[in-house]
A = this chain, B = another copy of it.
């Protein structure tokens, strides 16, 4: 860990680290209206499934931001649709496209989440701010902005594929939103950036131990939805979710500062699996 970990920068320095943003994400959770569905004529059911399968198949093949289907366990929903897109407008189109499906009459929306893939640059931000501080460059001056933009571009180019990834091809999905605490003595937003960096670094180490087993996508939702971040974990063995999240719960960033929303657990479906998911 570098030596400036706990320096407090002048008060006019930004408190938020630089972040890079990628795909916009919409999670949609639906419960099947079984009674109404079963009451539908078989031919209409078949047609609705065929139409939906084709539509989701096309969305799954999109080059630049795809959609994927999941079967949820439990009463929170039967079907989850995850859309990765280039913009909120494209998310809106995806939402409308799902709404237009005949199948949609039998899908009751139970939940959703709107976010944007986000990578927080704690290390780079601290290094850059340190340099700008030493050069005497003041925040939000033209010089400052130029430096920030240059660094941000450099970083973005390095990790472009992590910002605009495909939806990982693993069998299980664990999704949950979360906040950092702002209460009492455990107030994340009153920590120095160096301290937050240290905690996120430690937190990241836990994640890295599971690198081969879990693909993790973090998205930011401040200003978009009710929690600050969304976490999508993808794995081929769902027990790994439990091990990873349990282990993380002991690191200081989680033990002291994390608040968790609802957890959604789901199994990947191919569009062609819709027929059996809706079998009567």
Contacts and interface: CB of A to CB of B under 8 A. Distances in A.
Interface of A: 14-16, 19, 21, 26, 28-29, 31-36, 38-39, 71, 73-76, 78, 88-89, 91-92, 95-96, 99-100, 102, 104-106, 109-114, 116, 118, 140, 172, 174, 176, 182, 184-187, 189-190, 209, 220-226, 233, 238-239, 241-247, 249-251, 254-256, 258, 262-263, 265, 267, 276-277, 279-280
Most chain B CB neighbours (cut-off 10 Å) among A95, A182, A243, A277: A182
A55 to B, nearest CB: 14
Contacts of A76: 112
Given A246-B223, A247-B16, A112 B280 contact: no
Chain A at the B interface: mostly helix, strand, loop or mixed?
mixed
15 contacts: A15-B250, A28-B74, A28-B75, A34-B104, A35-B105, A74-B113, A92-B267, A182-B249, A222-B245, A222-B249, A223-B241, A224-B238, A225-B263, A226-B262, A226-B263
Copies held by the complex? 5
A3 to B, nearest CB: 19
Nearest to A267: B92
A231 to B, nearest CB: 10
Contact of A246 (B29, B75, B220, B262): B220
Most chain B CB neighbours (cut-off 10 Å) among A36, A113, A242: A242
A35 B88 CA distance: 25
Contacts of A277: 96
A151 to B, nearest CB: 16
A223 B88 contact: no
B249 A105 contact: no
Contacts of A39: 105
A175 to B, nearest CB: 10
B223 A74 contact: no
A238 B25 CA distance: 13
Contacts of A250: 15-16, 189
Contact of A174 (B189, B224, B239, B247): B224
B71 A265 contact: no
Contacts of A246: 16, 19, 220, 222-223
Contact of A32 (B99, B102, B258, B276): B99
A75 B109 contact: yes
A265 B104 CA distance: 22
Contacts of A244: 223
Given A189-B250, A224-B238, 14 more contacts: A15-B251, A16-B247, A34-B105, A73-B91, A74-B113, A75-B112, A88-B172, A118-B242, A182-B249, A182-B254, A222-B241, A222-B246, A223-B242, A223-B245
